Copies of this chain bind each other. A is one copy, B any other.
Amino acid sequence: MMQDTPLSQLIKRLSRLPGLGPRSAQRAALHLLRHRDTQMMQLAMELEQVARQYKSCNTCGNLDLHDICSICSDNRRDAKRICVLEDIADLWAMERAGIFSGHYHILGGTLNALDGIGPEDLGISKLITRIEQVTSSLATPQQLEIILATSATVDGQTTAHYIAERLKSMPVQISRLAHGVPVGGEVNYLDDGTLAQAMKARTRL
């Protein structure tokens, strides 16, 4: 086995990516080396470009080529709706689905006492400052809706509850995503929690 060669260092770095282990990093490196000119050089260039060009949006935490991202600066979007998400991948999922035309706020994670992630790590004061700024610019601040769209996991729900608690005194509407049977889901495969929520929130036909 090659010790501390450039190739072994590359494999070590690839193996630190989420979703890749030592074996798959080896396979990926060999695959790249087999396509040195068409793939590997391109990948190197693209990585370098993206690392250099992309910035975190100061307002919402999205990643974009500009400091105020294309979503925050888009006048056609509804500034009276802010959807609070855990991660940028969640934002991509929302945009892919094309179901929301408001603004976003990326927390960058969830509250987790074990991992030592507290409200300050998620920039929740920044979210509150942002909400204050938006409400002060509105004639009727009650128009502003904050949609808490964290995951339906224990950590995600804890985070949503914490934020809802912090926003209680503010003159805004707070909502969360509905729970229920996922589209295409079979009832007999659903967990009890989902089933209970789906029953509780049943709608009249």
Contacts and interface: CB of A to CB of B under 8 A. Distances in A.
A37 to B, nearest CB: 8
Contacts of A24: 18-20
B42 A13 contact: yes
Interface in A1-33: 1-2, 5-7, 9-10, 13-14, 16-20, 24, 26-33
A39 B10 CA distance: 11
Q: How large is the interface on A (under 10, 10 to 19, 20 to 34, 35 or more residues)?
A: 35 or more
Interface stretch (A88-96, A170-178, A182-190, A194-202): A88-96
A167 interface: no
Contacts of A49: 6
A36 B51 contact: yes
A53 interface: yes
Contact of A50 (B39, B40, B87): B40
A152 interface: no
A41 interface: yes
- What 5 pairs between A and B have smallest CB-CB spacing? A19-B24, A44-B47, A44-B48, A40-B51, A1-B96
Contacts of A162: none
Contact of A39 (B16, B20, B29, B96): B16
Interface in A42-71: 42-51, 53-54, 63, 65
Nearest to A96: B1
Contacts of A46: 6, 9-10, 13
A58 to B, nearest CB: 16
Nearest to A56: B33
Best-buried of A24, A63, A87 by chain B (most CB within 10 Å)? A63
